[in-house]
Chain A
């Protein structure tokens, strides 16, 4: 594959996906700088593997896996929490309140990395159980059990907005 073609295709992918990949990393680690590092590394790896990846599999899946694996490789480090302070004030009704955002971040941070990974893929990327399993190289049963366990934890941690009417 020629360099020009590789660059053009890679550029197109980065333009369309970089923000989403950064948010994925951010949701996983809770630290914008670490998220940026993870995305930079993932994209550099993707560039090197571009001809093979675009032929053999979904580029999205490869990039997602790189981001998630980088996070897990780095899992021993504690995740810092810098998000709530950086989120701008929100006035629009369809946005999360500060309290809701804080509560959701706290709940996500409490999830084990494996469950957080499944939650991000299923509920942020919108992948099916089968797609998530394929992405992560685990069984659909594991995806289901991790999703259920994560939901149970999140339900316990988050006040149901539709019940109290206070959190939305």
Chain B
């Protein structure tokens, strides 16, 4: 077989490949969502750096109002619980208040994501209730950056997985093992993973965990 023949055959083979239905709108939505998340991450990181830098500057030279620099003795024993997780541990105790004053508190990743509509949530609830029997002791929701990142394209050993239908979703998949159930739902490029367990504690193992 010559190179020319190989080229010809590969083209013939490729021409026959079935292509799934697609629309530019879906690609645009996924691209915009990814761009939004990236900008949020960058802005959050820059803000954290700026705030930490400002705090360090204030700690060293004071804030220019005559207030003495913050020392380690002045600090509260722990930072407020709702500070961004990526801030240094030794930030001043009133940093959260300063951020609030500036009205620039960074929003969490979930806050930045497009919300699921009430209608979609109702449809998701219908699917969950139709499949999970008995009481639910644990429910958590995570959001992943795409289908593969959520892990929903896999089915770990010991889990039973199958495609599910959720109205208004681009696709959905169900996983089940013992008392743990998971439903992955892709909407506008974001994958929401609902984890339910009849036990009232976080499941020790799940099929899909955000890999992004």
Interface residues of A (CB under 8 A from B): 7, 10-11, 14-15, 18-19, 22-23, 26-27, 32-34, 36-37, 40-41, 43-48, 74, 77, 83, 86-88, 90, 94-96, 100-101, 104-105, 119-120, 123-124, 126, 147, 151, 154-155, 158, 160-162
Contact = CB atoms under 8 A, between A and B. Distances in A.
Question: Which label, helix, strand, loop or mixed, suits the secondary structure of the B interface?
Answer: helix
B31 A48 contact: yes
Interface of B: 1, 3, 5-7, 9-20, 22, 24, 26-28, 30-35, 38, 146-148, 153-154, 189
Given A43-B31, A119-B10, A87 B16 contact: yes
Contacts of B3: 123, 147, 151
Contacts of B189: 44
A124 B10 contact: yes
Contact of A151 (B6, B18, B31, B154): B6
Contacts, number: 120
25 contacts: A7-B28, A10-B27, A11-B28, A14-B27, A15-B24, A23-B14, A26-B14, A27-B13, A32-B17, A32-B19, A36-B20, A36-B22, A43-B27, A44-B30, A44-B33, A44-B146, A44-B189, A47-B30, A48-B38, A77-B154, A87-B18, A100-B9, A120-B10, A123-B3, A154-B1
Given A23-B14, A47-B27, 16 more contacts: A11-B28, A22-B19, A23-B19, A26-B17, A36-B20, A40-B26, A43-B27, A44-B30, A44-B189, A100-B9, A104-B13, A119-B6, A119-B10, A124-B11, A124-B14, A154-B6
A127 to B, nearest CB: 11
Contacts of A15: 24
B10 to A, nearest CB: 5
A51 B109 CA distance: 24
Question: Which label, helix, strand, loop or mixed, suits the secondary structure of the A interface?
Answer: helix
B16 A101 contact: yes
Contact of B27 (A44, A83, A100): A44
